[in-house]
Amino acid sequence: MIVKESIDNRHFEKVAILADSTNYGQLGRADLEAVLKERGITPVAVEKFNIKDVDMTPQLLRARMKGAEVILTYGVGPELAQIANGMAKLGWKVPMIGSWTLSMPNFAENAGANAEAVRMPQTFILEGAAGKREAFIKKFEQAYGVTRIPGPVWAAQGYDSIYLLAAAIEQAKSTDGTKIKEALEDLQAPVEGLVMTYNKPFSKTDHEAFKTTNVAIMGEIKNGQVVFAYDADRGKVQAN
C-alpha cells in the first residue's frame, strides 16, 4: 500500500527509504525494496536510524542530495517525528508515507504542524464512524474518561482479537493453547468485529488476517488527527 500510494497514486519516481535499525524497521525496509523492485524502481537512498535518535539531518541530507521526491518510512512515533521535524529544519518538505505507526499519537504530538499530510495504511479511523463503530468509540471514551481514543488501530484490533480468541475457545471447547491455535487456523463461523467480519481469517500457513484488498485504507494526518486520505474509502469502511 505504501508503494502503491507513492508510485501509482502520486506518481513519484525517486523514493528514499528511512527505516529504524530494529527488526520491525529492517524487515519493513526489505519489504519496501522488494515491492519497489517489482516495479523496476531502485530507491535513490536507503537510510537507517536508531531508536532514540534525535537528529536525522545526515540521512535527510543524503536523500535530498540524491533527488528524493518522497520519503518512505518504517519506524515508530518519536523517531518518525524527528524525520518530519528534520525536514522542516532543513527547509525541505517532501511527502512522507510510511507504515501504520505514523498514526501513533506521539508522532503527531512531537511533530506538530510538521505531521500535516503524512499518510499511512490504517484499519480503523475515527472519522465518520457509524453503527457498531460509533457505539464502541463512545463506550471507550466513557470507560477511560477521554474525549478521543488515542490509538484507534490498537483499540479496534485489540477488541476484535478478544472476540476471535473467544470464538476459538468456544469451537475448541478448551483453553488448551494447542487446541486454540488449531481452532484459530480453521474457524468455522464468521466473527463480526469492528475492523471487519472475519471469515476464516487464518489458516495453518497464513496468520495474516488483514489483506490490502479486504480492509486496509489510507489515512492522512490533518490538524493532528488521522482522517481518510480518500473520500471513496469512507463507503468502503462502512460496507465492511
Give the helix ranges, DSSP H, for the chain: 2-3, 23-38, 57-65, 77-90, 105-111, 131-144, 152-172, 177-184, 232-239
pLDDT value for 234: 80
**Domain co-membership, 11 together with 93:** yes
**Domain co-membership, 81 together with 161:** no
Out of 64, 93, 122, a domain closes at: 122
Residue 172 to residue 180: CA distance in whole angstroms:
6
pLDDT at 16 over 80: yes
**Taking all residues of the chain, what is their mean pLDDT, rounded to a whole number?**
94
Please tell me the total count of domains within the chain: 2
| pLDDT tens digits for range 47-103 | 999 999 999 999 999 999 999 999 999 999 999 999 999 999 999 999 999 999 999
pLDDT value for 239: 45
pLDDT at 21 over 70: yes
**Domain co-membership, 115 together with 135:** no
Residue 179 to residue 185: CA distance in whole angstroms:
10
**Domain co-membership, 93 together with 174:** no
Out of 88, 122, 156, a domain closes at: 122
Residue 220 belongs to a domain: no
Residues 158, 163, 165: CA angle, nearest 5 degrees: 90
- CATH number for the domain that contains residue 94: 3.40.50.2300
**Domain co-membership, 16 together with 55:** yes
Residue 223 belongs to a domain: no
Out of 92, 122, 152, a domain closes at: 122
**Domain co-membership, 132 together with 191:** yes
**Domain co-membership, 91 together with 153:** no
> Which helix (H) or strand (E) covers residue 37, if one does?
helix 23-38
Q: What is the DSSP letter of 159?
A: H
| Pairing, β 225-228 against β 217-222 | antiparallel
**Domain co-membership, 163 together with 144:** yes
pLDDT value for 237: 57
Q: Are 121 and 99 in contact (CB under 8 A)?
A: yes
**Domain co-membership, 135 together with 24:** no
**Could you tell me the sign of the dihedral formed by the alpha carbons of 125, 128, 132, 134, in that order?**
positive
Q: Which residue has the higher pLDDT, 184 or 237?
A: 184
**Domain co-membership, 43 together with 95:** yes
| pLDDT tens digits for range 117-171 | 999 999 999 988 889 999 999 999 999 999 999 899 999 999 999 999 999 999 9
Residue labelled with grid coordinates 527547509: 91
Domain, as residue range, for 202 = 124-211+231-240
The band of 233, judged by pLDDT with boundaries at 50, 70 and 90, is confident
**Residue-level length of the chain:** 240
Residue 181 belongs to a domain: yes
**Domain co-membership, 66 together with 154:** no
Beta bridge partners of 227: 220
